[in-house]
Structure 1
Amino acid sequence: MGSRLRENPKRLLECWCEVVGPKGRERPAWIIQKFPNSYDIEEVLKSVPQFAFPCSFESSNVQHFSFVLTSLDSKWTYGFCRHAPGAETALVLLSHLPWHETFYKLLNHLSEMMSSDRTSDMASCLQNIYKSPVPHPGSEITVPYGDSKFFVAQCPNHLKLPTIPENRNLSEYYNAVDTNNMIIIFASMLYERRIIMMSKRLSRLSACVQAANSVIYPMQWQHIFIPVLPQHLLDYLLAPMPFLIGVNTLLLAKVQMDDVGEAVILDADNNTVKTPFNDVDTLPDEVVINLKRNLKSSNNMLGDSVARAFLRALVQLIGNYKEALQFREEDSRITFNREKFVAIRPPNFQPFVEKMLELQIFQQFIEERLERLNSGKQTSDEFELEVSVYCEKSSSKVKQQYKQFVTNVRKEGGAIVKTMKNKTNPAVKSAVKSVTKGSKQVKEKSRQTYKDLRGKIKDFQQPRVEDGTLPPTWINGESPQKPRSAPSSPVLGVKRRPRTVGGNMAGYSAKATAPKYELIDTDSGLMSPGSTDSLSTPSPQSIDLIGEMEEIIRAKLGQESEVDGEPGHSSTGGSNSATSSVHNSPGSESASGSTSTVTMLQSLKDHPPSLMASK
């Protein structure tokens, strides 16, 4: 069927009527006057009295309600009625525009002029309104009439979402029915059920029906749609096809409900719903959860919050329809792929989407969108804008989920590292403590050893004068700064028969007075011990500490080897000890000293030190 609204209405007002109420069964309601008189659509004029007085009712307040007349091309003509308490007539305005608030205000203005007998002003006002072009939705209309008088009204934008309290229909519906029952009616309309709304008040009745249809935007109800059912159309309640009908409570009491069959019934006066279906449960869970949350998120639901909550639910259900659009090359037209539309939805959405493909309200939506796309018309409306917002939010949600995932991984990773630290720290600390303690012990031991060796070096550096005997001097009068062989060199050169300088040093112990034995050249003469040149003492600044330490160790090893290598000799024996006396007489050699020297050299050969220095 497509949209039920005419796209380009020619005028703001189609017709104005004054209808007299019925006088029993013998005299039904009829039109006593109309404007313009040229309006002659018989089907409409015949139906207006029946809808203006759909049933007998009493009211202590002014009531406004609306009805809908459907033409052969399935387009709607709206009728706006005003009933005053105690009045015998009702005022009716016919228009192709669903501007309830604007026309209700105009009806009040016309009624005021009629009651004050300002017929000329009323005629002038109707004439100018009829000739006025259709203003842009959302703009203000100003109609001059009479003697510098104006009718001013705000035209609602029916292309926008209805707002509270500006939209009387939605405001009445929201006040009369709670959100849970609104969701039940919403789901029933998506499944195209047979829906009956009842109330004693015609204004509430028509408002609830009109508002229920508005919250399924961008779709529109494509079946029987009667905001206020006249009595002569009660048989419509027995129709097997889907319908959305408002019935006065007193009128509905005349109907056998068993004959109606399965239908969803909303009592707007008592805020109750009876339904044989579980339509809400068959909707995707996340859609219902989000819808309930959006409807209950704020105590003050002013503005378009209510309408937008339902719009967002529809965006979740059908907002990705463009992903199923395809271009057909043979006729260069855009088409809709039904199978793809189902396949691209999540598994929990697919059962409902498959059902929705068979619904006329969805088919109307797709046909209208395809018509706009193929004709090059703009499709930017509230629905498309909300689809864009939803896509952006979904993208942000994915990013947020990824960010949260990374955060969780970092937290869990940190916990793992912390756990590992807690478990390994005791062992690591124990190992470090042990190594530190061992290192300190090694350092202390090395420091003590170094002190002992340094003390021994000092003993050998100082000249010893005991019993008139001097320590041995460097051979050939050479300075100790000029060794004949490098300290690090292991080369001994040609073997020479060593000569010793005797002397009385029996007072020195073996451990504390180990003499220095030097390899001398046989060609060189022996210097007299009394020569002053032979008494030079090495300067402390020219001592090779490493070399001296090695010599001391070598001497000690040689001493021990000598003692261990000759059986029958004691380590503390007098002239046969490792520290034999050195004679000062040139050319003379002691047999014991020679034997001791040979024994020491043999011991050094058997137990070679790492380094050997010749001086």
Structure 2
Amino acid sequence: MLKWIYVPTCAHQEVQTYFEKHERPFSEALKARFDDLKKKIVPDMKHGMSSSSQTSEDPLKVNKRCRNQVRDKINQAFSILRRYVQGKQDDGMDQADTLDTLSNDSDSFVDVAEILKRKTYASTIRNKTYQSIKKSKEFLTRIYPQLFEYAVIVGLRPVPAGQGYEPYIIHKFPEIRNYKVSTEGHLYVCTNMVDSNVSVPLFCFPDAADFKPEKNMKSQSYSFVLTNFDGGRVFGYCKRVQVPESRLPEVLCIISPVDASNMYNTLLNEIELKRVKTLELAQELLAASFGRPLPKPGQDVQIRCLDEIGEMETIHLNRPSDARLENVQYDCLLPYLGTDKLIKVFSSLLLERRIILCSNNLSCLTQAIHAIVALLYPFHWQHIYIPILPAAMLDVCCSPTPYLIGILTSHLNQVLDMPLDEVVIVDLDKKNIIQTVGDESTILPKKIIKALKMAINMCKLDIEAERSQSLMISEAFLRVFVETVGHYGEFITTQQDNKRIFLKENFISKVESHGLQQFLEWFTETQMFEVFITNHLEKRDWGTVDIFMSRVMEYRDGSGPSTERPGIGTKVKNFGKAIKSKLA
């Protein structure tokens, strides 16, 4: 008699595949028994609880269990790498699996001349951008007495004696703030009121020339980032809305020196509710918001204003402790790029190259670029960053410095005709990399790539992982930095003069894997690594890397979720062996 065995979520399909592969009859009676078992197990796998207790369980406990499950899978994927680097053997791993995982490891070794070329490139970029990075730190430490720099409501109007539309400012608050963007993408203060905001409306409507009115248009949220001459970044948060009195949409735009998308998007949602009623209500909320001080990271601010019937209402806004991990939709990356292409784009970012992403959808473009940059945590992208580039500024793509730029697909052919050297171009809509440098598969060590692929692909194994796909992706890429640079703290030392220094050469040689050593030789020359280490030497930004530091401690102490529990792959394999032995 066939005994009942624990069946994971995907086991039913595995069993059916097994029978088909070996051309064995899968009787209706046996199939019915598996179907019945699946009905009993799947709800528990999906929700982790019985239906009677589902509504009463604490959501915080559910989230904690979900995080632990994800981190267990990450540990399983990277355990092979960790055992290999430490020179340990896993008795529970099949020999074939070990050989497959570690085969072709010599491919991790890159030609010495190529490593030297990457080191030279990274150090050259770092030296060119040092002053602007130094200035940008000053902007981060400033205290702002108002919630934002200024806000505009931008509309569309037909181009005189021509086709298409052009953006124009319907309302601006306050009027004394005057900015303009140069053709190089830099922001500067204007002295002439007539020139005020000549370029910012183009970022609000980058598709103005090709815009076609739509019926029942849904609201879209997107953003843009500009860099001024002093190295400080200015962020633009946009909400495109359809107003009842016009067939053309308007864009509500907030300009701020602070990266806090969730806080400002919450405010834009409130402004949208006012704007669809009357323009005056939206203007009143903008005025009331501007007068409130910008909260410190992790704190709240309250905005009080009158509603349409004259009653006072309060709006609560929260500024996150670390905006890099806020409101990031990592799960959008796999549908747009897939695993292999995502790793190639991530690798190009690590080498601080020029990258262009294109799409027809503004929200898609903003979400994807924001998520890709967030994968660099705990590091910062230190260079040109423009999620949406207007058609009038496409010449910025010819910049010799590193950048991450988003363009509309309608502008792609124009960009491809430009003299672009070593630029990675990705079409998100077609899920295709149009142009590459050619060495993207060798930027990361092969062992890291294999472990990263295994971790990402675990999202597709069962329903529980699929529901946690965003967390799975963020934790997988964070683990890459834990594995490669997590030991940096051992090599920060204090000299006799109380000056803290970083022993870079000792840091690199500490790693046993030659492939990882080659990676660190050039990565330690990048601007993002230099800023990261400098912040720690100067004891800055400690609060913004708490998650990274906790993962490093878990990695060292083994205090994280257990890595010894059998994973879904082991369960499926054991289940298949059990069935085979019963029916042999």
What range describes the TM-score normalised by the shorter chain of this pair?
0.5 to 0.7
1:141-200 deviation per Cα after TM superposition (whole angstroms, max 9, x unaligned): 54221133435456362517737xxx2553544543323322111111011122110001
Moved more, 90-99 or 297-306: 297-306
Report the counterpart of residue 67 of structure 1 in structure 2: 224
Structure 1 pair 289/31, CA: closer, same or farther in 2 (3 Å)?
Answer: same
Answer whether contact 1:191 1:279 (CA < 8 A) is retained: no
Report the counterpart of residue 33 of structure 1 in structure 2: 171
Report the counterpart of residue 342 of structure 1 in structure 2: 508
1:231 aligns with 2:391: yes
Report the counterpart of residue 116 of structure 1 in structure 2: 277
In terms of fraction of residues, the more helix-rich structure is: 2
Report the alpha carbon displacement of residue 110 of structure 1 after superposing the two structures with TM: 1.7
Q: Name the amino acid aligned to 1:127.
A: A
1:76 aligns with 2:233: yes
1:20 aligns with 2:155: yes
Report the alpha carbon displacement of residue 92 of structure 1 after superposing the two structures with TM: 0.7
CA distance in 2, matches of 1:229, 1:301: 32
Moved more, 200-209 or 172-181: 172-181
Answer whether contact 1:161 1:304 (CA < 8 A) is retained: no
Structure 1 pair 377/271, CA: closer, same or farther in 2 (3 Å)?
Answer: closer
Q: Name the amino acid aligned to 2:259.
A: P
Answer whether contact 1:138 1:154 (CA < 8 A) is retained: no
Structure 1 pair 153/197, CA: closer, same or farther in 2 (3 Å)?
Answer: farther
Report the counterpart of residue 507 of structure 1 in structure 2: none
CA distance in 2, matches of 1:227, 1:70: 12
CA distance in 2, matches of 1:382, 1:67: 27
1:209 aligns with 2:369: yes
1:390 aligns with 2:551: no
1:292 aligns with 2:458: no
CA distance in 2, matches of 1:394, 1:189: 31
Report the alpha carbon displacement of residue 308 of structure 1 after superposing the two structures with TM: 2.0
1:110 counterpart SS class: helix
Q: Name the amino acid aligned to 1:335.
A: I
1:31 counterpart SS class: strand
TM-score by length of 1: 0.58
CA distance in 2, matches of 1:284, 1:50: 42
Report the counterpart of residue 524 of structure 1 in structure 2: none
Structure 1 pair 240/377, CA: closer, same or farther in 2 (3 Å)?
Answer: closer
2:558 counterpart SS class: helix
1:434-485 deviation per Cα after TM superposition (whole angstroms, max 9, x unaligned): xxxxxxxxxxxxxxxxxxxxxxxxxxxxxxxxxxxxxxxxxxxxxxxxxxxx
1:53 aligns with 2:205: yes
1:550-586 deviation per Cα after TM superposition (whole angstroms, max 9, x unaligned): xxxxxxxxxxxxxxxxxxxxxxxxxxxxxxxxxxxxx
CA distance in 1, matches of 2:471, 2:389: 29
Taking the TM superposition and a 5 Å limit, the aligned residue runs for 1:392-471 are 392-393=557-558
Structure 1 pair 142/148, CA: closer, same or farther in 2 (3 Å)?
Answer: farther
Q: Name the amino acid aligned to 1:122.
A: A
Answer whether contact 1:9 1:96 (CA < 8 A) is retained: no
2:175 counterpart SS class: coil
CA RMSD of aligned residues (A): 3.2
The one of the two structures with greater contact order (alpha-carbon pairs below 8 A, sep at least 6) is 2
Report the counterpart of residue 523 of structure 2 in structure 1: 356
1:222 aligns with 2:382: yes
Number of corresponding residues: 393
Structure 1 pair 379/299, CA: closer, same or farther in 2 (3 Å)?
Answer: closer
Asked which structure has the greater CA Rg, the reply is 1
2:467 counterpart SS class: coil
Structure 1 pair 320/252, CA: closer, same or farther in 2 (3 Å)?
Answer: same
Report the counterpart of residue 6 of structure 1 in structure 2: 140
* Residue among 493, 498, 501 paired with 1:326: 493
1:189-219 deviation per Cα after TM superposition (whole angstroms, max 9, x unaligned): 0111221100011111122112111110111
Structure 1 pair 208/184, CA: closer, same or farther in 2 (3 Å)?
Answer: same
* Residue among 122, 129, 153 paired with 2:289: 129
Structure 1 pair 139/328, CA: closer, same or farther in 2 (3 Å)?
Answer: closer
1:310 aligns with 2:477: yes
2:481 counterpart SS class: helix
CA distance in 2, matches of 1:53, 1:398: 50
Report the alpha carbon displacement of residue 363 of structure 1 after superposing the two structures with TM: 1.4
CA distance in 1, matches of 2:544, 2:167: 44
Structure 1 pair 292/205, CA: closer, same or farther in 2 (3 Å)?
Answer: same
Report the alpha carbon displacement of residue 246 of structure 1 after superposing the two structures with TM: 0.5
Report the alpha carbon displacement of residue 384 of structure 1 after superposing the two structures with TM: 1.5
Taking the TM superposition and a 5 Å limit, the aligned residue runs for 1:148-227 are 148-152=311-315, 155=318, 157-159=320-322, 162=325, 167=327, 169-227=329-387
Report the alpha carbon displacement of residue 299 of structure 1 after superposing the two structures with TM: 1.9
Answer whether contact 1:266 1:272 (CA < 8 A) is retained: yes
CA distance in 1, matches of 2:543, 2:240: 41
Answer whether contact 2:267 2:317 (CA < 8 A) is retained: no
CA distance in 1, matches of 2:526, 2:425: 21
TM-score by length of 2: 0.61
Structure 1 pair 355/257, CA: closer, same or farther in 2 (3 Å)?
Answer: farther
CA distance in 1, matches of 2:563, 2:473: 27
Structure 1 pair 32/325, CA: closer, same or farther in 2 (3 Å)?
Answer: same
| Gaps in structure 1 of 5+ consecutive residues | 401-615
| Gaps in structure 2 of 5+ consecutive residues | 1-132, 181-187, 190-196, 459-464, 566-584
Answer whether contact 2:168 2:201 (CA < 8 A) is retained: yes
Answer whether contact 2:294 2:301 (CA < 8 A) is retained: no
CA distance in 2, matches of 1:175, 1:152: 35
2:255 counterpart SS class: strand
